[in-house]
Structure 1
């Protein structure tokens, strides 16, 4: 007898390590350049707080991104991302390194990506997520797709989905309210 496929809630309830791409997921994907050639990115504060909530709930957070940016380093430190991989050409290799470093099984990992370079990792994780404006090939392979666009609350929506599936959302909200 074949087991039924896991529901989104079941997949989200198993997440112990949540990994995010940056451009198009934690940002809107736009790149602004100064006259000196420096890159600027805009991060959503709601998304950042969602990642902090995951950490408070005991979920390890990570970023795997193809670009290398001092801005991403600063943002990752600010919201206390556990593991940061930048300038990654082979996201599969970074993912394998991350699994070794954390001891978390692939089925207990989530990954939120928006474009083809993310697919190799998304397809190995137990919970693959995408923002609403991700490439159609990514959306078609994701277990869960946000209503929000990348850089505009998609990551926060995902974080809250995980926290609800793990029955941690209400306690974190109560703590924020001072209860």
Structure 2
């Protein structure tokens, strides 16, 4: 399973409020295709985010994430629930983060990832740091890396091109 934070990982971390109070976030289409590739390859995906947002809910439902957990500032207890729910070990989980609330989960998972614009403390303990920043295709980068390591990437691309 590939789990990730939202703000700073799936987005660039900026939040814009319109004059009527609506929240605006940008999601990169590259990451969306990465989530689609993961699903096609049989990888489960999910988000654990401290904030709650209708936009995040909409995007997550659109991409058919297996787990959509919002309002989870303390992420480790929610991570443990997800592991139990899907009968997963730590080694079967990749987690992507960018800031301090992600640290406890990053320390437990089998493959920990810090986006390139993450806090240095996360980069120091992460198994991998992305080449690109959150919101710029970092999720896609990691999913492709996982699929290549599993020997699934080339077959998926051939299917898509056919």
Instruction: Please report the TM-score for the alignment, with normalisation by the length of structure 2.
Output: 0.98
- Residues 106-151 of structure 1: CA deviation (Å, up to 9, x unaligned): 1110000000100000111000001111111111111011111100
Aligned: 1:152 with 2:162: no
> Any idea what SS the aligned residue of 2:121 has?
helix
Root mean square deviation, CA, Å: 0.7
The whole-number CA distance in structure 2 between the counterparts of 1:152 and 1:163 is 19
Aligned equivalents of 2:80, 2:21: Cα separation in 1: 33
Which of 87, 95, 115 is the aligned partner of 2:71?
87
Gaps of 5+ in 2: none
Cross-structure match for 1:114: 98
Aligned-residue offset at 1:55: 1.1
Flag the structure with larger Rg.
Answer: 1
Indicate the residue corresponding to 1:8 in structure 2.
none
Distance 2:108 2:130 in 1: 20
Is residue 172 from structure 1 mapped to residue 156 from structure 2 by the alignment?
Answer: yes
The structural deviation recorded for 1:47 is 0.5
The equivalent residue for 2:146 is: 162
**Structure 2 SS opposite 1:98:** helix
Among 33, 47, 54, the alignment partner of 1:49 is: 33
* CA displacement at 1:89 relative to structure 2: 2.2
Match of 1:140 in 2: 124
Which 4+ residue blocks in structure 1 deviate beyond 2 angstroms? none
Relative to the length of structure 1, the TM-score reads 0.89
